[in-house]
Amino acid sequence: MANADAFVVIYGTTEPVQKLHQISVGSLSFLYSQDGLRRISWQGTELVRAIAWPIRDENWGTYPAVIVDERVEHGDRFEARLRFTVGDERLECDLAIRATASGELAADLTMTPRGAFSTNRAGFTVLHPIKGVAGQPLRVTHPDGSVEETSFPERIQPDQPVKNIRGLAYSVGARSVEIGFEGEIFEMEDQRNWSDASYKTYCVPLVHPFTYDIVEPVRQSVRITLSGSGRIGSEGAQSDPVSVNATSRAAPKIGLALESGWLPSGAMPELGASAILLRTAPDADDLPQLARFCADFDEVDLEIVLPDDLPVSAGLAKVATALAAEGVAPSRVIALREAYLGSHQPAGPWPEGLTPNEMFGAVRTAFPGALVGGGMMTNFTELNRCRPDTTRCDYLTHGLTPLVHAGDDLSVLETLEALPQIFASAGALAHGRPYRLGLASIGMRTNPYGAAVADNPAQIRRTMARVDPRHRGLFGAAFAAGILATTEGSTVEALCLAAPAGPFGLIPEPAAYPQAGYDGEGRAVYPLFHVVSEACNLAGHPRLSVEGLPHGTVGFGAQTRDAHRLMLANLSDEQCAVTLPVRAFVLRLDAGTFDDATRTADWLATAPRTQTADIELPPFSVAFVEGTFSSD
């Protein structure tokens, strides 16, 4: 992808991809960058997802590191020395890493402040994978030397599953890892709450104030020992045809998310979405305009954010009256006080006043014809920590974003591994009630963990940013197909993948930030438009399962009245190939078709298709497939 235009087509930004260097020392291997070590493996088995050294600001954003010096030696052993500063040089950091062929890996970090340095978290974090680990035995060594035999949580745990950690030991199959920590008290959280595909061991414990000052040098170390032997598995490219099979479930319904500032400036291209999810408040000046836009949809679901100082019944009545004046009768309603858009630890303290469970009655009174939702408008984390009483509500809901802890491409893609486990945990909490996702997107809609989402004027890959440039590229289209694919086997009944316009929009609009590849180009839609359009076409139809896809590729499909229709997406930066069981009509959304696909909203319906059984999928491309596939 040396061509800059092709690069922007995929990622929506000119920011270079993070450099990850593959390191192998005997049977020990990992990916190295200036931000951390990833995919730490022994004989091909991943045992540690990552070691990182983020420095968080007061809003839980990550301070950008300024590299002062980097020295790397790689021979029969690996050594790296990294000096960097953060916060306008107010914190100086010195990192040393050593790895040997015997399976020993050591990391030492010294953080030296210039005056008092304020942070929410600083130092080592160690991530543990979920594949082969969830629900499995875990040995914990505490600072007093005592040993506890426990296990990694199977269902996603809302609070810390392990505290006061000096050492951890666990296995993945026949291979094992021991991890030792020094210099601080560590504890573990279940990062699947935020859709990270990992458990995280970190410091300092959350019993400490969220914002604290580093006033003197801090030294931390991590020691990792990997061991075990056996047959090494592989995840190579597939050569056999995939199989396409019927399932007992329907493809989920697709809606659009809407709030103030997300209305298109002109007519919305025909999409096929039958539902819209409106978030509003009693004091929203544009509520009449929003309601008029919603009136064209078959179903209107409502999220109401109530100011904490406004009586609940009065606020709900004001919204109900405004919607009724435009002829809108919501099908579903969830209402929360504004304080519940923030995150609170399971043990509290919790906001004063009515809790979400105590508001159900008032919602039913204000909207007697609507189903009443329980859950949260933010992430699964907040729902898991404040679980609704499902005997008093009619459905469960929450949103999704991959940008809470990291913003690089690999981390964002890894979150797709965690989504099935989120869906399983949320489905268990629903106790048979319908389960409907809110907005599932790359960007962060609201920040429960700080005062605001992160500004992103340069349009880079940034943690906790509302506007993520990848949303506008092929990456965003493929990622949306990935979200759809992960709902297979779950009870997810409906979800939103985008908004009409704005930071999560489907159509380009003038913005205060640069939109590489779109500004002044006269484009009609983003690539994501076509994935959402096809998902709308498939909604409610019998779902199909695609098995035997190569690693990094996902499939989503349904059987319509006329044909079997699939979306196959390559979620990697390497080209791959898929062989269908029979020839079918194929249209590919990739760098070569990007120009045509973004200049007209009806590209999916009018572009010529190729009849073939062999599909080449370039990086982050999506193939739209239509044919007839018999199940074995």
pLDDT tens readout for residues 579-631: 999 999 999 999 999 999 999 999 999 999 999 999 999 999 999 999 999 75
DSSP assigned state of 445: S
**Cα dihedral sign, 168-71-73-414:** positive
Question: Does 288 reside within a domain?
Answer: yes
* pLDDT for the residue 205: 85
* pLDDT for the residue 210: 78
Tell me: do 26 and 128 sit in the same domain.
yes
Q: Residue ranges of the chain with pLDDT lower than 70?
A: 1-4, 230-239, 631-632
DSSP assigned state of 465: B
The pair of structure tokens assigned to 57 is 């600001």
204 C-beta neighbours (distance < 10 Å), count: 18
Tell me: do 378 and 501 sit in the same domain.
yes
Cα dist from 354 to 70, 313, 371, 393, 396, whole Å: 53, 11, 20, 16, 19
Q: Which residues make beta-bridge pairs with 505?
A: 499
**Domain around 410:** 252-539
* pLDDT for the residue 60: 81
- Type of residue at 96: A
Question: Does 241 reside within a domain?
Answer: no
Question: Does 589 reside within a domain?
Answer: yes
* pLDDT for the residue 4: 46
Tell me: do 258 and 121 sit in the same domain.
no
Three-state SS for 569-585 is EECCCCCEEEEEEEEEE
Cα separation, 176 vs 443, whole angstroms: 36
Tell me: do 99 and 206 sit in the same domain.
yes
- CATH code, domain with 90: 2.70.98.10
Question: Does 298 reside within a domain?
Answer: yes
The answer to whether the beta carbons of residues 440 and 195 sit under 8 Å apart is no
Question: Does 234 reside within a domain?
Answer: no
* pLDDT for the residue 233: 53
| Residue 235 φ/ψ, nearest 5 degrees | -120, 75
Tell me: do 478 and 555 sit in the same domain.
no
Greatest CA span in the chain, whole angstroms?
75
Tell me: do 505 and 425 sit in the same domain.
yes
457 C-beta neighbours (distance < 10 Å), count: 9
- CATH code, domain with 372: 3.20.20.80
Radius of gyration of the CA atoms of the chain, in A: 25
Among 469, 504, 539, the domain-final residue is 539
- CATH code, domain with 608: 2.60.40.1180
The answer to whether the beta carbons of residues 328 and 366 sit under 8 Å apart is no
For 337, half-sphere exposure in the C-beta direction (CA atoms, 13 angstrom radius) is 20
Question: Does 24 reside within a domain?
Answer: yes
**Cα dihedral sign, 460-19-442-195:** negative
Count of domains observed in the chain: 3
Number of residues that make up the chain: 632
Q: Please give the span between the terminal C-alpha atoms of the chain, in angstroms, as a whole number.
A: 39
Among 504, 539, 574, the domain-final residue is 539
Question: Does 393 reside within a domain?
Answer: yes
Tell me: do 621 and 583 sit in the same domain.
yes
Local structure of 610: helix, strand or coil: strand
Among 194, 228, 262, the domain-final residue is 228
Tell me: do 263 and 380 sit in the same domain.
yes
Question: Does 233 reside within a domain?
Answer: no
4 C-beta neighbours (distance < 10 Å), count: 10
Whole-number mean pLDDT of the chain?
A: 95
Tell me: do 603 and 531 sit in the same domain.
no
Paired sense of beta strands 395-400 and 371-375, if any: parallel
Tell me: do 301 and 216 sit in the same domain.
no
E-assigned strand segments in 152-309: 162-165, 167-172, 175-182, 186-190, 198-202, 212-214, 218-228, 243-250, 253-258, 275-280, 299-306
- Type of residue at 171: S
* pLDDT for the residue 239: 66
Percent residues over pLDDT 70 in the chain: 97
Tell me: do 64 and 171 sit in the same domain.
yes
Paired sense of beta strands 332-337 and 299-306, if any: parallel
Tell me: do 12 and 65 sit in the same domain.
yes
